[in-house]
Structure 1
């Protein structure tokens, strides 16, 4: 029993290390999103850090339109990044988890 507990603790530490490694890797995974007319392009990491925003000069003429474009495009990019982030972290955690009876991951 004690050996099983030590084995589980070791597996949990491995899982934690895999999750941390995955978090670092997700800083290098880039998510690109653009408006339907290509006037706004946004790049962020899968950890949801904005890397670049490219705004066409046409959008600079209308503050309200630019704000709308930013909100829509950023939300789409954040949703994509969040989906990637959650899937990758869940896979890393599940892969390293010990088999504990009664707990289905």
Structure 2
């Protein structure tokens, strides 16, 4: 049983490392604002097209930036959930043998 817990912990670490290598993005205003993040929900970069920056009001820019960040983070959450569900399924499949299934 302890071995299975150690394996689960190792699997979780592997998933975290893999999620760090997956990039997701969020855009607003037709791509004029772009946010890149990892699937671990760490923002890596934010880019704002200079033409948009010069004509946009600060409040509008802030709102659209929040939209782009939230889109990137939602993609990251979806990928993270998918990875964790797959790992849980694998782990539970392995635990089934412990109970005579």
TM-score with structure 1 setting the length: 0.79
Aligned residues between the structures: 94
CA distance in 2, matches of 1:68, 1:20: 35
Partner of 2:83: 88
SS class of match (2:52)? helix
Which is richer in helix?
A: 2
Q: Contact 1:19 / 1:93 at 8 angstroms: preserved in 2? A: no
1:51 and 2:33 equivalent? no
1:24 and 2:17 equivalent? yes
Q: Contact 1:18 / 1:93 at 8 angstroms: preserved in 2? A: no
CA distance in 2, matches of 1:36, 1:19: 36
Partner of residue 72 from structure 1, selected from 54, 67, 74: 67
RMSD: 1.6
SS class of match (1:41)? strand
Partner of 1:5: none
SS class of match (1:37)? coil
Partner of 1:41: 34
**What are the ranges of 5 or more consecutive residues in structure 2 without an aligned counterpart?**
none
CA distance in 2, matches of 1:69, 1:36: 7
SS class of match (1:69)? helix
**What are the ranges of 5 or more consecutive residues in structure 1 without an aligned counterpart?**
1-7
Shift of 1:14: 0.9
